[in-house]
Every structure is written in structure tokens, then in C-alpha cells.
Structure 1
Amino acid sequence: MPPTGSVLFAKDDRVAIDAAVASEPFKQKGLAETVMTEVNVMIVAPGLDALREGQEA
């Protein structure tokens, strides 16, 4: 895990994502902070079409 940050792409309901993040061991031990930023992806690289809004994973 990078010491200053990382990026996670997820497409799921926010409650499920928050629960997954809260159960992460680094988070539980107070060793990690999280900042969630929701975005509406409009343009993606080939192979990442499922990240666009309205697309099935």
C-alpha cells in the first residue's frame, strides 16, 4: 500500500463500499484515513467500459 495514497475504482452501492472500507484492517487499527470521491465517468480507456454510469459490470 502506498504511504501517501491510492485509488480504488468501485461500482457498487455506496453502503456496500463504505462497509468494505470500514472492515479494512488498516482502517480498523487507525493506520489509514479514507476520502471517498464519487465521479460520473464519461470517457474511459478500452476495457474499462463497465466504469461508465449506467453500464453493467
Structure 2
Amino acid sequence: MGGFLSWWDGVELWLTGLPFVAQTAVVMPVVLALAYGMAVLLDGALGNGIRVLRRVRHDDEDST
């Protein structure tokens, strides 16, 4: 863990030393990739949740 934290400190120092435009060019692809990944995961989870709720609701209507 100490090695990772030391590496991360070096990355932070390097990134904060860059001009603003270069910081943006480096950070934005990472942030956009993370946001896209989270959107895909949430979309899948919510889609499956809705599918399960519809199935449960449909089963309840059939049993009455």
C-alpha cells in the first residue's frame, strides 16, 4: 500500500505542475471514462430492477 500511495503522490505532484489546459486534457478522458462506466452499470442495474418488478407485479396479477 505504501508503494501505491507514494506513486499516487508523484502523480499528483506531476499533475498539479502542469498548466491548466494540460491538466484538463489529462483528467477529462479519465473522468469521462469513469462516468460512462458508472452510467452503464447503473443503467443495467436499474433495467434489471424494473424487469424484476414487472415480473413480480405480473405474477401477482395472475394469482388473483
Q: TM-score, normalised by structure 1?
A: 0.31
Which structure exhibits the higher relative contact order, with contacts defined as CA atoms closer than 8 Å and separated by 6 or more residues? 1
More helix by share: 2
Higher-Rg member (1/2): 2
Q: TM-score, normalised by structure 2?
A: 0.28
